[in-house]
Structure 1
Amino acid sequence: MPIPDTHERRLILGSSSPYRQELLRRLHIPFDVVSPDIDETALPGEAPAALATRLALAKAQAVARQHPEAIVIGSDQVADLRGQALGKPGTHERARDQLHAMSGQQVVFHTALAVVCAAQDFAAQDLAPVRVRFRTLSEAEIENYLRAEQPYDCAGSAKAEGLGIALLSSIESDDPTALIGLPLIRTCRLLRQAGIELLTGASA
Structure 2
Amino acid sequence: MPDSSKRPPRLILASSSPYRRELLERLRIPFDVAVPAIDETPLVGESPETTALRLAQAKARAVAAALSAGERALVIGSDQVATYDGHQIGKPGTHEKALAQLQGMRGREVLFHSALCVFDSGSGDAQAVDVVTRVRFRDLPDAALDAYLRAETPYDCAGSAKAEGLGIALLDAIESDDPTALIGLPLIALTRMLLAAGYPLLEVR
Quick check: 2:140–2:170 contact (8 Å CA) kept in 1? yes
Structure 2 residue 31 is the aligned partner of structure 1 residue 34: no
Give 3-state SS (helix, strand or coil) of 1:132's partner.
strand
> One-letter code of the match for 2:46?
E
Aligned residue for 2:92? 89
Quick check: 1:6–1:196 contact (8 Å CA) kept in 2? no
> One-letter code of the match for 2:35?
S
Q: How does 1:167-186 map to 2 (within 5 A)?
A: 167-186=170-189
Q: Do the aligned partners of residues 118 and 201 (structure 1) sit closer, same or farther apart at CA in structure 2, a change above 3 Å counting?
A: closer
The two structures have a TM-score, normalised by structure 1, of: 0.94
> One-letter code of the match for 1:79?
A
Mark the runs of 5 or more structure 2 residues left unpaired by the alignment: none
Structure 2 residue 133 is the aligned partner of structure 1 residue 130: yes
Q: Determine the C-alpha separation between the residues in 2 that align with 1:106 and 1:197.
A: 38
Q: Determine the C-alpha separation between the residues in 1 that align with 2:100 and 2:118.
A: 34
Give 3-state SS (helix, strand or coil) of 1:180's partner.
coil
> One-letter code of the match for 1:39?
D
> One-letter code of the match for 1:102?
M
Aligned residue for 1:155? 158
Question: Identity of counterpart residues, as a percentage?
Answer: 60
State the structure with bigger RCO (CA 8 A, min sep 6), 1 or 2. 1
Equivalent in 175, 199, 202 of residue 199 of structure 1: 202
Quick check: 1:6–1:195 contact (8 Å CA) kept in 2? no
> One-letter code of the match for 2:16?
S
Mark the runs of 5 or more structure 1 residues left unpaired by the alignment: none
Deviation readout 1:116-143 (Å, 9 max, x if unpaired): 0222112100111000000001011111
Deviation readout 1:76-122 (Å, 9 max, x if unpaired): 00001122110000011100000000000000000000000222112
Q: Do the aligned partners of residues 83 and 135 (structure 1) sit closer, same or farther apart at CA in structure 2, a change above 3 Å counting?
A: same
Q: Determine the C-alpha separation between the residues in 2 that align with 1:96 and 1:33.
A: 31
Deviation at 1:8, TM superposition (A): 3.0
Quick check: 1:20–1:181 contact (8 Å CA) kept in 2? yes
Quick check: 1:6–1:194 contact (8 Å CA) kept in 2? no
Deviation at 1:71, TM superposition (A): 0.8
Give 3-state SS (helix, strand or coil) of 1:145's partner.
helix
Structure 2 residue 17 is the aligned partner of structure 1 residue 14: no
> One-letter code of the match for 1:45?
G
Q: Determine the C-alpha separation between the residues in 2 that align with 1:29 and 1:91.
A: 35
Deviation readout 1:20-46 (Å, 9 max, x if unpaired): 000000101000000111000110011
Deviation readout 1:36-79 (Å, 9 max, x if unpaired): 11000110011111111110000000001012521100000000
Say what the alpha-carbon RMSD is for the aligned residues.
1.3
Aligned residue for 1:99? 102
The two structures have a TM-score, normalised by structure 2, of: 0.93
Ranges of 4+ aligned residues in structure 1 off by more than 6 Å? none
Q: Determine the C-alpha separation between the residues in 1 that align with 2:32 and 2:186.
A: 18
The structure in which a higher percent of residues are helix is 1
Quick check: 2:79–2:114 contact (8 Å CA) kept in 1? yes
Structure 2 residue 64 is the aligned partner of structure 1 residue 64: yes
> One-letter code of the match for 1:62?
A
Give 3-state SS (helix, strand or coil) of 1:89's partner.
coil
